[in-house]
Amino acid sequence: MRFIDTIQGLDDIFENDIPKGSVVLITGPPGSLKSGLTFSIISKYLEKSSEFGIYVTLEQNKRSHLENMKSMGIELSENLTISDFTDYRLQYDEFSGDLLNLIETNIVQYKHKLGDKFTCLTLDSLGALYSLMDVEPRLMRKRLYHLLEPLRRENLTTFLILEMADPNGPNHDFEGYLADGIIELGVHTKDDSTNRFIRVKKMRASAHSMDPYILTVSDDGLQIYRGTIF
């Protein structure tokens, strides 16, 4: 099973698969299907493999997140565990407020339990993580770097969701520097027609198109196809 076989049309963008162990940044404004795309990729990939993964959600609780996914025709794989903020608070008697430590502990425990069968991780989202932790941005990003490097060594394919509401607002060059791949999602209006789009800005060790493709929600989940966007 390849990551690019999980969504209809994704293999038209890529000539070869997203390399295992990559850190992939999923960016875009509100409503561009960042969570839907990422959840669909990781859940469908795990469903067709004997591997396991964790989806860490910091913006929606588990029930709300699954209801949102189901409304788009995206089902939860039995091999995917969803961890939300409430789960962490219930798991630990004393909540230190250091959410990143809790996430790291969760990952380590999962790795010890499943070993090499644990292959995929999603963090939804970096913006929520930054807002929940009382840490100066420079130190927060340094800690994020020290979290991601061990994940690469463990060959975990990691998807990081980052909302970018204003393309002219604060830049996120640091997150892009950390990532092996950047997949940009967006919403564009042309001639009174509005479409969501997907564009792969970079993916190390993978040949891919850099053109924008239309991203839609169908009865069978997400679909991608070539069209005139801009």
What are the boundaries of each domain within the chain? Answer: 21-185
Q: Give the model's pLDDT for residue 129.
A: 85
**Cβ atoms of residues 222 and 202 within 8 Å:** no
Cis before 125? omega within 30:
yes
pTM, two decimals, is: 0.93
CA distance 19 to 181: 10
* Each residue's pLDDT tens digit, 141-187: 888 888 898 899 899 999 999 998 765 555 567 888 889 999 999 99
Q: Give the model's pLDDT for residue 25.
A: 97
215 phi/psi in degrees, rounded to 5: -120, 125
| Exposed e or buried b per residue across 173-209, where buried means at least 16 C-beta atoms within 10 angstroms of its C-beta | eebeebbbbbbbbbeeeeeeeebbbbbbebbeebebe
CA distance 103 to 109: 10
- Identify residue 91 by its one-letter amino acid code: Q
Distances (CA, A) of 215 to 17, 187, 201, 212: 19, 9, 16, 9
Q: State both tokens at 208.
A: 């891919």
Q: Which CATH superfamily is domain 21-185 in?
A: P-loop containing nucleotide triphosphate hydrolases (3.40.50.300)
Give the residue ranges of the chain where pLDDT is below 70. 86-97, 166-172
